[in-house]
Amino acid sequence: MKFFSRKTSRAADPVVDRLVRRIAEQNAIDASSDAKCAAALTEAVQAACDYARAMVDELGEPFVLDRKRATGSALGPILFDDRKDALDALRNSPKIRNVFADPHVRECVFLLTMHRREYVIFGTEIEGEMIRRDVMQDAVEFRDHNFSAAAPSLAELRDLLTENVVLFLADLAPERLRRDETVRTQIHHSEEMLKAQMKTLDYALRESRPFAAPTPLHAKVSQGTREMDGLLERLSTLSAKSDPMKCLQEVRDILLAPQHHVRLEAVEMQVGDFGVKSKTGKFIRFHECVLGDDERLAVFMASMDRDNALYLWPDLEG
């Protein structure tokens, strides 16, 4: 009976394994020979992956893009200024094109990210047979379009987005340490150059000592001393050099509570001509990815088949 009650281990997850190795390498965490350290990092990465996958699943099924669809059902004029802009944006997406570069790929699933901006305009409004002018209206536009990820299948895109989210989270912890380390390197470089200059000035002082050193030379020595003191003061304000175990704990704290740093929010609206929000406009539903307290990205998942890809890139045929 013990055989049936034995606790089964979770199946190996290649995405988790890749992320553990990469995060460990980036933060000098010994996950290859320290089993306890590896287990702690793996647990946190697995939790973050589960959260990220749930986020991707929340996006729902991809919207199928098809140039043959009626204009009324096309999202191009809403997410872009017009249908032509949408087609041009797709044509200029190397990530989508690279997926279709494989002649065996029949479909591409991709993620479009944008910044949503809402503003007020004055336009016309029709009420029955009456036309009202200079009516204050709410309008929306989407900017900074970026096809951020693309893959031949939804499953592969899900893995890709999961890795992107977890790496974003893991990068939050050591960001300040890495920034301070860069500044520390720059300061040490400046310190070496200043020491060389001070050595030259000191030699000049000794050479002219019997005749009394000129005032400008003394001024330069004093200036060099002040600059050296300033460099040492800046060094004292930087965080201590990265401690791998401390870094591991910081990474774990973030990965085990990803909802505090990234989340999805559903957005629904009806949009008419010129981006004006209207009860009679086209209904659209999308999500916004909230990154900390600083940025909100409208995210839209779509797919396109090879026939439409050949319309965009005829040279792929052959």
User: So where are the chain's domains?
Assistant: 63-173+245-316, 176-241
Average pLDDT value for residue range 50-68: 92
Report the alpha-carbon distance of residue 147 to residue 160 in Å, rounded. 13
pLDDT tens profile 6-48: 444 567 899 999 999 999 988 888 888 889 999 999 999 999 9
From 80, 52, 266, select the one nearest 93 (Cα to Cα).
80
Kindly tell me the sign of the dihedral angle through the C-alpha atoms of 170, 175, 181, 185. Answer: positive
- In sequence order, the β-bridge partners of residue 146 are 113
pTM for this structure?
0.72
The candidate with the shortest Cα–Cα distance to 237, out of 178, 197, 183, is 183
Question: What is the average pLDDT score of the chain?
Answer: 82
Q: Which two tokens stand for residue 68?
A: 């043959």
Does residue 155 surpass a pLDDT of 90? yes
- Contact, 90 vs 312, CB < 8 A? yes
Q: Are 283 and 268 in contact (CB under 8 A)?
A: yes
Average the pLDDT over each of 64-73, 105-114, 243-252 and give the range with the smallest value. 64-73
Confidence at 193, pLDDT banded by 50, 70, 90 = confident
